[in-house]
Amino acid sequence: MSFSYLFWNFYSLVAKPLLAKQELPVIINLDRTTSASQFVQTLKEKNLIHYQRPLLMIIRVTGLSQRLKAGVYQIKPGETAIQLLYRVVSGDVLTQNFTIIAGTTQQKIAQDLAKASYLDYHPSDWSLIQENHSNAEGLVLADTYQYQGGSSSKSLLEHAHRKLISYLNTVWANRAPNLPYKNPYELLTAASIIEKETAVPQERQLISGVMVNRINKKIAVTDGSYSYLWLRSGVYWQVIP
């Protein structure tokens, strides 16, 4: 192997972009078992490098073989192989947004999670936030969340749930006096019913007053799908045939 050959290949890794500036970004996915040789082979298969050996030598000589981070990486136009390597070592993975719109059902959120790009979703992930509730309906806060490409939806759901709990605790601490609700979750259930009834802010206060009166008189509150009864043990509901 001649000196000029080595020099040219190492120079290319440092100075030559993997993609020209006019080219589109390329996505690569590295899992937890990806080795240095597999990482380099992936770049070769994507036609981003011509020869595997020089880059593999750099990775091994610099002791970076065991420091490659799993995840989804977007290779940017103008980026060199060495720049990409150090991004992989630092775990600078692709970041995506996931939005939960207010009033969205658990079923719809689940469908969106399943379709989200580079997100590992399993229906069982909901069990992490469901706790002692019969389902996870309404247990995440409507907001836009960021997640790392290749990550699990568990982290996203747990984050959305923690934000909801924080928000509920704040609302609960500042609630109006003499409300019939026993805990923040009952307040959340009531708010969900009101939100389904109307999108007009002025009407929500009226509906809220009607609900409070019905609850105080132990009259079931319905939203067309469920019948809610406020008991000492908490909210109880059943599907109306």
pLDDT in the model for residue 225: 45
Mean pLDDT on 178-190: 82
Per-residue pLDDT reduced to its tens digit, 120-157: 999 999 999 988 777 888 899 999 999 999 999 999 99
Could you identify the residue written with the tokens 């990775």?
59
Tally DSSP H helices, then E strands, for the chain: 9, 7
Confidence of residue 183 (pLDDT cuts 50, 70, 90): confident
3-48 pLDDT per residue, tens = 555 556 676 777 889 999 899 999 999 999 999 999 999 999 999 9
- Please say if the pLDDT value at position 232 is more than 70: no
Q: Is the pLDDT of residue 226 over 70?
A: no
Burial class (CB in 10 A: 0-12, 13-18, 19+), 90: exposed
% pLDDT > 70, the chain: 84
Backbone angles phi, psi at 95, to 5 degrees: -110, 135
Domains of the chain: 3-90 (3.30.1490.480), 95-174 (no CATH), 176-240 (no CATH)
DSSP string, 37-86: HHHHHHHHHTTS-S-SHHHHHHHHHTT-GGGPPPEEEEEPTT-BHHHHHH
Q: Residue 116 pLDDT > 70, yes or no?
A: yes
